[in-house]
Amino acid sequence: MAELLPVFTACSTCPIRHRAVCASCDAEELDALNGIKYYKTYSAGQNIALRGDALDMVASIVAGTASLERVTEDGRVQMVGLLLPSDFIGRPGRSGLQYDVMAASDVTLCCFHRKPFEEMLDNTPHLRERLLEMAMDELDAARDWMLLLGRKTAREKITSFIDLIVRRSYHPAEAKLDQPMKIELPISREAMANFLGLTIETVSRQITALKRDGLIQIEGKRSVTIPDIYDLRAETGDDEEDVG
């Protein structure tokens, strides 16, 4: 099931080197991190850790997609975090997990045992600085997401999600917004439903409707082409104002 994933040994060749928690570390700091890291892989569907567990590591996602999920007493599931490569798992200073961490696809993690990582945090201002930056970015993203969950229609939710994946798939500099764009949905319909606070049936129906309306084309189940990203964004319900 899990295809063999390459093992990266040198941080300098790491694909997430410039976006992850180590992004602003200098060569010396990187050396120190390099000494305590280890890689770990999970296959799609596996849970990486469960709510209430003591997780004695923190990690960066090197490849694949993980999700954070919360569940009601009677089993309704809400995704509360979508973690793509370079995103960070775990909370320094606290080992008790607040949510389930799931591998949405095959996932490779660059892990650090909690203790040595926390010690490094104390000695490495760059590291804590970058972690704060990332936490605040996630907080902003979480707030966008709350608007989506609380106030958007099913159609707006789907278009917003596709736009989110577009934005994470293209570097802003190299994106050609006036040409058709193509993305791979990183998660299944069920995971999308859990992300968006919908049922799988509603997700499916809305995707069909967007296809019918010519806003997207679908090849297979996961591959989406957006003929005009502006047309799609006009359906997200978002204020146009370009912030951030």
Partner DNA sequence: CGACCTATTGATACGTATCAACCCGAGTGG
Partner DNA sequence: CCACTCGGGTTGATACGTATCAATAGGTCG
* From DNA, its own copies, none, interface partner of 228 (C-beta below 5 to 8 A by class): none
Q: Tell me which of 98, 179, 208, 223 binds its own copies, using CB under 8 A.
A: 98
Residues 10 and 160: their CA atoms lie apart, in Å, by 37
Residues numbered 42-81 forming contacts with its own copies, rule: CB under 8 A: 51-52, 68, 70-74, 76-78, 80-81
Q: Kindly tell me the sign of the dihedral angle through the C-alpha atoms of 42, 158, 228, 219.
A: positive
* From its own copies, DNA, none, interface partner of 202 (C-beta below 5 to 8 A by class): DNA
Per CB under 8 A, 167 contacts its own copies: no
For residue 136, the Cα-to-chain-centroid distance in whole angstroms is: 15
Residues 104 and 101: their CA atoms lie apart, in Å, by 9
| Minimum CB distance to its own copies, residue 114 (Å) | 14
What is the DSSP track for 171-233? -TTT--TTS-EEEE-SS-HHHHHHHHT--HHHHHHHHHHHHHTTS-EEETTTEEEES-HHHHH
> Which residues on adjacent β-strands are paired with residue 107?
42
* From DNA, its own copies, none, interface partner of 81 (C-beta below 5 to 8 A by class): its own copies
Q: Which two tokens stand for residue 132?
A: 């704060």
* Per-residue contact string for residues 24-53; x = within reach of DNA by CB under 7 A: ---------------------x--------
Q: Which residues bind its own copies (CB under 8 A)?
A: 51-52, 68, 70-74, 76-78, 80-81, 91-94, 96-99, 122, 125, 128-129, 131-133, 135-136, 138-140, 142-147, 149-152, 156, 196-197, 237-241, 243-244
